[in-house]
Amino acid sequence: MARMTRTQITLEEDEYLFLKAQAAERGTSLSSVIRGLVRARMSDAAQPAAHIWDLAGLVPDSDFTGKDHDRILAQTLAAEFGLDTEDPE
């Protein structure tokens, strides 16, 4: 078991009641519930947020800066829908 540090915190009544209810529901201590919430938040904070382009799967280039946004978006949509990518000019 990892070394623990005793800490005192002040909670508003609704926060305290929520944590007590969670502890009773889980059959554990209030401290255990708080440690679990802190660990979950630590895990969330440690994971880097995905870039919107990665989520959308639109831009495979990691050096994308947004300068060629319209061209890349047009090429991606053209490829997706089988459209002609010729420049109309």
Q: Which residues of 22-34 are buried (b: 16+ CB within 10 A; e: fewer)?
A: bbeeeeeeeeebb
Check residue 29 and report its DSSP letter: -
Q: What residue segments make up the domains of the chain, in order of their start?
A: 13-46, 52-81
Whole-number pLDDT of residue 13: 97
10-residue averages of pLDDT along the chain (89 residues): 89 96 96 94 76 60 66 79 67
Quick one: pLDDT at residue 52? 63
Q: Whole-model pTM above 0.85? A: no
Which pLDDT score is estimated for 74?
A: 80
pLDDT of residue 14: 96
